[in-house]
Structure 1
């Protein structure tokens, strides 16, 4: 009795993993940008309201960015593990088929 077949598109999984790695890198580097925005806004006409609003947004963004970054990193790592494990299993099955 044969078990269920598994049909994975390794090219899609590999591409997705690379794309997620790009997103992770962007999210890691985006923290520097939010600091720059607050500095660039400064105090127009000597007023601090806009600077405070940008600072409030930045504070909320930094916390949420970490949550998103953790999620993206987790998904990327799991996808990479799937690709690695199925690639290894495929090689082992091919090798065992050659020796049978």
Structure 2
């Protein structure tokens, strides 16, 4: 199997993007309500408004399922980023040498 290399910076950007997507999904309900208000009842008919309401009802369940999956992915990406950053800091600390370290190789 081939090695896979992923920059932590890319994971951090992905994490931020996933969080933004989750906010957009969270705000979708309010936007649909505003859309329905803007549509109103042209010529006293509410067919278009009813259609947007029906669409929102069907999309609502799908959106909730998608949000649950995205939250899991976002949490995994964030956890992976944190884990690698913590590992990197600990590895860097363990590699630091003090000026008085007598075990430094000499030539």
- TM-score, shorter chain, exceeding 0.5: yes
Query: Structure 1 or 2: larger helix share?
Result: 1
Q: Which moved more, 1:79-88 or 1:45-54?
A: 45-54
Q: What is the root-mean-square deviation in Å for CA atoms of aligned residues?
A: 2.0
Which residue does the alignment assign to 2:13? 15
Residue 6 (structure 1) shift: 6.7
The TM-score with structure 1 as length reference comes to 0.82
Q: Deviations over 1:9-63 (max 9, x none)?
A: 0111111111111111111112100111112222221122222111101111222
User: In the alignment, does 2:91 pair up with 1:93?
Assistant: yes
**Normalized against structure 2, the TM-score is what?**
0.77
Unaligned runs of 5+ residues in structure 1 are: none
Q: Which residue of structure 1 aligns with residue 47 of structure 2? A: 49
- Which of the two has higher C-alpha Rg? 2
The corresponding residue for 2:29 is: 31
State how far apart, in whole Å, the 2-side matches of 1:12 and 1:98 are.
27
1:71 to 69, 72, 75: 69
**Distance in 1 separating the partners of 2:69 and 2:23:** 13
Paired with 1:50 and 1:25, the residues of 2 have a C-alpha distance of 27
Show structure 2 runs of 5+ residues with no match: 98-102
Return the alpha-carbon distance in structure 2 between the equivalents of residues 7 and 54 of structure 1. Answer: 45
